[in-house]
Amino acid sequence: MSADTMKDIVALCKRRGFIFPASDIYGGINGFWDYGPLGVELKNNLRDRWWKDMVVTPPIGPDGAPIEIVGVDSSIIQNPRCWEASGHVGGFNDPMVDCKESKKRYRADHVFVLIPKDGQGTSFAFDKDAEQSDIESRLKKFAKGKSASDFEKEMLDKVPAKMFASIIGPDAKEPGTLTEPRQFNMMFHTYVGAAAGDENKAYLRPETCAGIFLNFKNVVDSSRTRVPFGIAQIGKAFRNEVTPRNFIFRSREFEQMELEWFCEEEEVPMWFDFWVEQRTKFWEAVGIPKAELHFLDVAKEDLAHYSSRTIDVEYRFPFAAPGFDELEGIAHRGSFDLTQHEQFSGTKLEYFDQAANKRFTPHVIEPSTGLTRGVLALICQAYTVDESRPSGVYLNFQPGMAPKKAAILPLTAKEEHVPLAQKLYMDLREDFAVDLDIKQNIGKRYARQDEIGTPYCFTVDNDTISDQTVTVRDRNTMAQNRIHMDKVKEFVKDRIR
């Protein structure tokens, strides 16, 4: 897969109603996306599966008994002091660079610079994902015959300030148009109430986990939860990303699925391994093979301010291939959040263990994943080119994730076929998301179902009238078999389990 594949995926998502640019008729708005009729089904399927695996039927713990996890749904806007305590007001910053010529803004840690090894001439800045062929062709044009091997590579945020005058920005023609990196807070803010003064300033949450920490005491006081236990939440998060990119991968409004697992400090290594294993199983169960995942033990210097250890579960997104990019982070957050919120709010957030008669602040392990980023991974993984079929491509979703589990197709719009198809549809729609598609020739209808990833098509034809059997067409193999109409529900049920 390549960057071109990504373009094809984006086009399919729009053509078939998965994902549209937000405000499309106004020309869009960078970093914001809308989910169409099929996209919202896919997103809900992934969300529901996560919620089921976490909250409804949590995994079996190392001692053989089910672990305990409860859910919350907290407000997007919280008391702004919360974001001072979490470190987001002071520290949620990215180093940013503006280009005076192109008027573009870049994250300094996403740009590298090629500096001439001989110290002579101009340096060139590139996006960190730039293709080698583009790098060479730009150098050929502007660097007097030099090739990439004549340069040293350095990240832009590490380049000394005095050198900025000799750098040509990624989209510029003249050197010296890049500003030095400046800090830029990524939280969106608003004003609560009528007055727009600093005292009314509030923030849209940049991560969902804060609402969990703020409710730790409420949950412990109001339920029978006992450490170790978890609190889960799914919801929107907002970050004014400097360079939203790669379709929905990095957007400014997105959804997260986060679990905060509260345990004793001594048990952190055991639970950390437990969660890495559980989360890997989850991604495999929804259709991402382990071979497409990579587990990055994040280097000490790259850890978030709250974490002493993080494993990033990375997926081979087409724009990163043959490399990987982050799908989920599993972080040991220590007691950072409860301690900070205790200090800033003045409310004790310790846990009292009645059995051991001791008070302590639990440590936290946090598997945090992007729901919308997960949707992108499912689409990329499902995208399968097959020149032999009319659609040229099909989406090989794991049946449980597919937006439509089955399509019911009368072979023709003839009077005899349609009522039988309607009968089957009325029976199935009680249990699954199914399509009834009557018009157009059958080849076109199969092509549409292939492109939206429907695993099974059931076709009513003349034989159905005499023996009540329908053909079942398998999306992946295109093989067709006959099956009795009465067996269709069981057939689908068995395969989406």
User: Residue 462's CB: how many other CB atoms inside 10 A?
Assistant: 11
329: contact with ligand GAP by CB under 6 A: yes
Tell the smallest beta-carbon distance from residue 92 to ligand GAP (Å).
10
Q: Give the type of residue at 272.
A: F
CB of 249 to ligand GAP, least distance (A): 6
Residue nearest to ligand GAP (CB): 370
Smallest gap from Cβ 261 to ligand GAP, in A, equals 13
Residue 303 or 442: which CB sits closer to ligand GAP? 303
Quote helix, strand, coil % in the chain, to nearest 5: 35, 30, 35
* 328 touching ligand GAP, by CB under 6 A: yes
Q: Is residue 326 a contact point for ligand GAP (CB under 6 A)?
A: yes
Element at 458 (helix H, strand E) = strand 456-460
Residue 369 interacts with ligand GAP (CB under 6 A): yes or no: yes
If we measure between CA atoms, which residue out of 462, 420, 418 comes closest to residue 438? 418
State the minimum distance, in angstroms, from the CB of residue 46 to ligand GAP: 12
| Chain residues 189-208 in contact with ligand GAP, contact rule CB under 6 A | 207
Rounded CA-CA distance 146/95 in Å is 30
Taking the complex as a whole, the smallest distance from the CB of residue 260 to ligand GAP amounts, in Å, to 9
Tokens coding 432: 């699954």
Shortest spacing between CB 250 and ligand GAP, in angstroms = 4
Interface with ligand GAP, residue 340, by CB under 6 A: no
Is 337 near ligand GAP (CB under 6 A)? no
Instruction: Kindly state the smallest distance separating residue 373's Cβ from ligand GAP, in Å.
Output: 4
Q: How far is the CB of 63 from ligand GAP (least distance, A)?
A: 27
The number of beta carbons lying within 10 Å of the beta carbon of residue 269 is 12
Q: By CB under 6 A, what part of segment 40-99 binds ligand GAP?
A: none
| Closer to ligand GAP by Cβ: residue 143 or 242 | 242
Q: Could you tell me which stretch among 70-78, 327-335, 425-433, 481-489 binds ligand GAP (CB under 6 A)?
A: 327-335
User: Cα–Cα distance between 128 and 56 in angstroms, integer?
Assistant: 41
Q: Pick the closer one to ligand GAP by CB: 45 or 372.
A: 372
Q: With respect to ligand GAP, which residue has the nearer C-beta, 326 or 450?
A: 326
Q: Please state the φ and ψ torsions of residue 470, each to the nearest 5 degrees.
A: -125, 160
β-strand pairing of 363-370 with 358-360 = unpaired
Q: How far is the CB of 31 from ligand GAP (least distance, A)?
A: 8
Selected from 12, 99, 209, 470, the binder of ligand GAP by CB under 6 A is 209
Q: How many angstroms separate the CA atoms of 392 and 118, rounded?
A: 50
Provide the H-helix boundaries in 247-304. 268-285
What's the min distance (Å) between Cβ of 486 and ligand GAP? 43
Query: In the complex with ligand GAP, which residue's Cβ is closer, 208 or 449?
Result: 208
Distance CA 304, CA 285 (A): 29
Chosen residue from 373, 404, 448, 473 binding ligand GAP by CB under 6 A:
373
| Helix H or strand E segment including 343 | helix 336-345
Determine the interface stretch with ligand GAP among 8-16, 117-125, 265-273, 362-370 (rule: CB under 6 A).
362-370
Angle 488-496/417-428 helices, nearest 10 degrees? 40
The residues, ordered by sequence, that sit 6+ positions from 474 with a Cβ below 8 Å of its Cβ are: 455, 456, 480
Taking residues 232 to 271 in sequence order and writing x for each that binds ligand GAP by CB under 6 A, - otherwise, the string is -------x-x--------xx--x-x-x-------------
- Counting contacts by CB under 6 A, is residue 368 touching ligand GAP? yes
Size of the site for ligand GAP (CB under 6 A): 19
The separation between CA 32 and the C-alpha centre of its own chain, rounded to angstroms, equals 14
- Residue-by-residue DSSP string for 20-51: EETTGGGT--TT-EEE-HHHHHHHHHHHHHHH
Q: Would you say 123 or 372 has its CB closer to ligand GAP?
A: 372
Which residues are CB-contacts of 239 (< 8 A; sequence separation ≥ 6)?
186, 187, 188, 206, 252, 254
In the list 39, 230, 334, 370, the residue contacting ligand GAP (rule: CB under 6 A) is 370
Stretch that binds ligand GAP, among 320-328, 442-450, 455-463, 464-472 (CB under 6 A): 320-328
Which CB, 159 or 327, lies closer to ligand GAP? 327
Q: Residue 331 carries which side chain, given as an amino acid letter?
A: A
**Minimal distance, residue 396 CB to ligand GAP, in Å:** 22
Bridge partners, residue 294, by sequence: 314
Strands 189-191 and 105-107: unpaired
**Cis peptide upstream of residue 228 (ω within 30 degrees of 0):** yes
The structure tokens 């000799």 sit at 166
Least spacing, CB of residue 203 vs ligand GAP, in Å: 14
Where residue 357 falls (left for φ over 0; alpha for ψ -120 to 50; beta otherwise) is left
Structure-block tokens of residue 30:
């960078």
- Which residues would be at the binding site for ligand GAP (CB under 6 A)? 207, 209, 239, 241, 250-251, 254, 256, 258, 326-329, 366, 368-370, 372-373
